[in-house]
């Protein structure tokens, strides 16, 4: 089903499933209210037209300006080959979402990870303990107010485009185009060549 059809189908089944929907770059996202979260998930898994049998991942997105955390569960259907994002926004402090691990077994570990990184509690989860972080870790690292101390100590400038692509450099010579910052930056500069390049078709 196309993304539009998916959203329309969900609204047909139960109008309260879809609080709001969005389609970006060909992928559908639906915001589902909290009390319909598990019901919508169950429907999406079992309905013959949707058939979302694969639980792909769950991510959290922190929106400090709205004081909310968005939980995104991405589903995929192997049979029908379509994707869907199930989204829900909860309050930052003491936000909680019902668990999807009774619907898809794969949700188990993803919910544990989202909980420990964001602080969103998943109600009804069988074993909500830390997965990636050590037991003694305090705080929720992926929130925006948990600062990355090395970046606070020193700002990391992004690499800028080192010049037009056909400034044919000769071997061993570093071009003097402006805007090349030698501090930080990973990978090599695209202009240092030590072997003659081939730009021909099939040999």
Partner 1 sequence: MAMTEERSAMFPGGPGEGMEIIVAGKGDLATEEMVLNIGPQHPSTHGVLRVVITLDGELITAAEPVIGYMHRGFEKLAEARDYRQIIALVNRHDWLSAFGNEVGVALIVEKMLGLEVPPRATWIRMLMAEWNRILNHLMFLGSYGLELGAMTPMFYAFREREEIQALMEAATGGRLHFTYCRPGGLKDDLPKGFLQHSQKLVKLTRHRLLDYAGLLLGNEIFKKRTVGVGVLPGDVAKDYGVTGPILQASGVAEDSRLTEPYLFYDQVEFDVPTGSNGDSFDRFHVLYQRIEQSLRIIEQIHDKIPAGPIIPGKMPKTIKVPEGNYYLRTENSLGECGYYLVSTGDKRPWRMKMRTPSFNNVSMIPYLLPGILVPDLIAVLGSVFFVVGDVDR
Asked if 183 touches partner 1 (CB under 8 A), the answer is no
Sole binder of partner 1 in the list 19, 33, 130, 180 (CB under 8 A): 130
Binding mask 24-43 for partner 1 (x = CB under 8 A): xx-x-x--------------
Query: Within 10 Å of residue 96's Cβ, how many Cβ atoms?
Result: 15
Asked if 13 touches partner 1 (CB under 8 A), the answer is no
In whole angstroms, the minimum distance from the beta carbon of 193 to partner 1 comes to 7
Q: How far apart are CA 118 and CA 140, in angstroms?
A: 5
Residues 115 and 127: beta-carbon distance below 8 Å: no
Binding mask 108-127 for partner 1 (x = CB under 8 A): xx-------x----------
Q: Of the two residues 99 and 108, which places its CB atom closer to partner 1 in the complex?
A: 108
Asked if 72 touches partner 1 (CB under 8 A), the answer is yes
The residues, ordered by sequence, that sit 6+ positions from 83 with a Cβ below 8 Å of its Cβ are 27, 28, 56, 74, 75, 76, 77
Asked if 180 touches partner 1 (CB under 8 A), the answer is no
Angle at 75 between CA 69 and CA 78, to 5 degrees: 170
Q: How far apart are CA 63 and CA 60, in angstroms?
A: 10
In whole angstroms, the minimum distance from the beta carbon of 152 to partner 1 comes to 10
If phi > 0 it is left, if psi is from -120 to 50 it is alpha, else beta; for residue 172 that is left
**How many chain residues are in contact with partner 1, going by CB under 8 A?**
58
Alpha-carbon distances of 43 from 5, 27, 81, rounded to whole Å = 15, 19, 17
In whole angstroms, the minimum distance from the beta carbon of 51 to partner 1 comes to 10
* Token pair in block for residue 103: 């619907």
Binding site for partner 1 (CB under 8 A): 24-25, 27, 29, 53-57, 59, 61-62, 72, 74, 78, 81, 83, 85, 104-106, 108-109, 117, 130-134, 141-142, 146, 148, 151, 156, 158-161, 165-166, 179, 184-188, 190, 193, 195-203
């Amino acid at each position: 089903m196309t993304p539009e059809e998916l959203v329309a189908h969900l609204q047909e089944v139960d109008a309260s499933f879809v609080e709001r929907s969005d389609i970006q770059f060909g992928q559908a996202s639906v915001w589902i209210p909290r009390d319909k979260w598990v019901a919508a998930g169950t429907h999406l898994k079992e309905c013959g037209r949707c058939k979302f049998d694969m639980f792909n991942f769950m991510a959290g997105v922190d929106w400090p300006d709205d004081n909310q955390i968005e939980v995104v569960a991405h589903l995929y259907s192997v049979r029908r080959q379509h994707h869907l994002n199930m989204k829900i926004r909860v309050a930052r402090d003491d936000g909680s979402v019902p668990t999807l691990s009774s619907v898809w077994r794969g949700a188990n570990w993803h919910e544990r990870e989202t909980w420990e990184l964001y602080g969103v509690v998943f109600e009804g989860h069988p074993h909500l303990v830390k997965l990636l972080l050590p037991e003694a870790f305090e705080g929720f690292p992926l929130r925006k107010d948990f600062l990355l101390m090395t970046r606070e100590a020193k700002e990391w400038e992004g690499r800028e485009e080192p010049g037009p692509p056909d400034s044919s450099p000769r071997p061993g010579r570093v071009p003097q185009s402006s805007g090349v910052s030698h501090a930080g930056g990973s990978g090599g500069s695209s202009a240092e060549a030590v072997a003659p390049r081939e730009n021909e078709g099939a040999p």
